[in-house]
Every structure is written in C-alpha cells, then in structure tokens.
Amino acid sequence: MDREAKPVPSLCQVYQDHFLIGAAVNARTILTHESLLTQHFSSITAENEMKFEELHPALDRYDFQRADALVNFAEQHGMKVRGHTLVWHNQTPSFVFSHSDGTARTREQVLAILREHMTTVMGRYKGRVYAWDVVNEAVSDADDRELRDTPWLRQVGEDYLSLAFEMAHEIDPNAQLFYNDYNETHPGKRERIYRMVKSLLSRGVPIHGIGLQGHYRLGQPPRDEIRDAIERYASLGVKLQVTELDVSTYAWNDQSREVQVQVQDARSQERQAQRYEELFSLFRAYKDVLTGVTLWGIADDATWLDNFPVRGRKDWPLLFTEDHVPKPAFWVVVDEATR
Ligand code: GLA
C-alpha cells in the first residue's frame, strides 16, 4: 500500500512509550491547525505568548489573554504545556532594566521585578504548565567567554542564573525547570553549557533539565555531534528535551535572497526524511533520558524560517506540507517508533 492510501496514525500515540511529541503554537495556529494538533501532539509550547514582553508589556500591566487561550486549548485536548520562557535577553521590555528616564535600575530593583513577574506568571499557571524554560540562551557563542553579555548579567551579576532557578522552584515546587539553548551541539558551546549546569548542580540549585533547541539543517550538525551533546548533558543526571526542532532545507551559511523554488521538490523531501530518520533514531535510543521532542511549528505553511535568516524566503522544515498533508519525513518518524 502506498503511503497516501494508509490511514494516518497519531504521531504522539506511536511515541507514547518513548517521549512527548510537542509543537510550538500561537493564538492563530490553534485554530488553523487544530486537527493536526489534536491528532498528533501531546504537548504545546507558546511560540511567543508566554515571553516577558507579551505577558508583561508594562511595569504595572499584564496581558494573559492569548497565553490563557493556549493553556485552555491544551487542557481541553489533554495536552501538556511547556512554559517558554522566563529569563531571556530577547523580547524582554526595557522597563525591566531601566527607569522611564533611561537610568539603569539597581541589581535589587531588577531582581524585585523578576521575582514579581515570575510569581505572577508561574503562580497563574501552577499545576497547568508542567515545565518551564527558566533561562533561555545565557551561554556565549564565542569561545573567549562563558556567559553571554546581557543586561541580566551586567545588572544582576552571574548569580542571576541560580537566583532565577531558586525563585522558580520556590514558586512552583512541582514544575520541571529547564535551561534552554541553541547551537547546543557545537562542541565549544556544549562544554560551556555543561560547565554552567554542572556548577549550578554542584551548588544545589534546582535545575532539572536541559533543553536542546534543535534548530537543525539537512546536513548540519552531524549526527555524532548531536549524540555527543546528548551523552555529555545526560552525564549530569538531568532530563533532556528537544524543545524547538525543525530541519531547514537551507545550509547554515546560505543567506541567498532569491527563492529558488516555490515548492519543496521530491528530492528535498526525501533528503529531509532521511535526516528526520537519523534524528529520531537517535532520540529513541536516548528515550530514558529524553522526555519530550517539540517541533517549532506544526506544518510548513506557518514557520518562523520563512523569515529567518532571510525575510520572505520560503522554507519547509516540518513534518506536514503547507496543505497539512504528512510528508515523507512524517512517515519515517512514525516507522522509527515501531522499529
Ligand atoms: C529562539 C527562541 C524561541 C524562538 C526562536 C525563533 O530559539 O527560544 O522562542 O523565538 O528563537 O522563533
């Protein structure tokens, strides 16, 4: 029987003995992609709706409308929710770090705002969001420094990391607390992430997992590099999750502006399927330590990669076509679960 004629199995059901299958969603895609979401995914992450600037746009104002809609959607359909994200250098309003006249806030003022934000947000979703990316992207990409130079680091100091995890644990002792980052398999950055998490653990800081964002490409990073990163992080005794998986069809340094083709051709779909097979066979092998794999989107008609790194250049990084039909990559991922 060819693939098109087979009934389409539920991805999260075929993976239910392995790990959760998640998708990044937004207030629009829970409507436009509802049937794919409810059939195939057991977890959601808010693409933007739980970021600081979205939830807390002004010092004295919160807006929970869209985040609530996502959490309600998940509950109606028996899905889990990953919270993303509490402490990050992007999409965080300037009032956190400076007064309205532009002068910098003190360390104690920044920490008081963070504590109030985390108490309000984590408190609201207590028992409804099972895991939080407490800190996102704090480690440097450059080999000559450990931590990224951010306002959090400059204005609070290195202990902003331990303080954030301690506050999170105090506010919701049952939530699983993650450190999340990209380029997480790059050997130099991998070691910096490893050292940072190891140092937090050695001081008894409550950190339960590492999120590997997983913004990959057809050929990069190599499988062995991903495996080495999983091994290295797992050796710390924490849980791992792939939190933002997608497989771009463009090479890492391809910044070309011309859109070469308007549809993903069969050859590209097959190459991508092989890549997804390689990835999921690896993930399956580590299912004892890997508790979730979240894709950064649902289907190819709604992906951030259409605007990154080149605005308006079509990409096809996910398991379903623009018309919401399972791609060859979907079928190999399904086959991988039962191999
Ligand atoms: C990072 C963030 C995500 C998202 C992606 C791009 O990986 O963690 O929240 O912004 O970039 O969409």
- At 260, the pLDDT band (50, 70, 90 cuts) reads low
Query: 221 vs 22, 93, 168, 182, 216, CA distance in Å?
Result: 22, 33, 32, 12, 7
The span from the CA of 331 to the CA of 317, in Å, is 15
The span from the CA of 3 to the CA of 101, in Å, is 62
What ligand 1 atom has the least distance to the C-alpha of 304? 12
Find all residues with CB under 8 Å of 144, minimum gap 6, and list them: none
The span from the CA of 202 to the CA of 221, in Å, is 30
Distance 243 CA to ligand 1 centre (A): 10
Distance 6 CA to ligand 1 centre (A): 35
Residues with beta carbon inside 6 Å of ligand 1? 84, 136, 182, 213, 244, 304
Distance 208 CA to ligand 1 centre (A): 21
Name the closest-CA residue to atom 12, ligand 1. 304
**Model pTM score:** 0.96
Distance 215 CA to ligand 1 centre (A): 9
**1 pLDDT higher than 60:** no
The β-bridge partners of 263 are none
User: What residues are labeled active site?
Assistant: 137, 244
Distance 84 CA to ligand 1 centre (A): 9
| Best residue for ligand 1 mutational test, from 244, 298, 308 (most atoms within 8 Å of Cβ) | 244
Average pLDDT over residues 2-14: 86
Residue type at position 133: D
Mean pLDDT lowest for which of 125-134, 153-162, 308-317?
308-317
- At 262, the pLDDT band (50, 70, 90 cuts) reads confident
**100 pLDDT higher than 80:** yes
What ligand 1 atom has the least distance to the C-alpha of 213? 7
**6 pLDDT higher than 90:** no
Q: Of all residues in the chain, what percent carry a pLDDT higher than 70? A: 98
137-165 burial string, b = 16+ CB within 10 Å, else e? bbbbeeeeebebebbbbebbeeebbbbbb
pLDDT score recorded for residue 259: 64
Name the closest-CA residue to atom 6, ligand 1. 304
167-209 residue pLDDT tens = 999 999 999 999 999 999 999 999 999 999 999 999 999 999 9
**117 pLDDT higher than 70:** yes
State the angle between helix axes of 223-234 and 187-202 in degrees (0 to 180), rounded to the nearest 10.
10
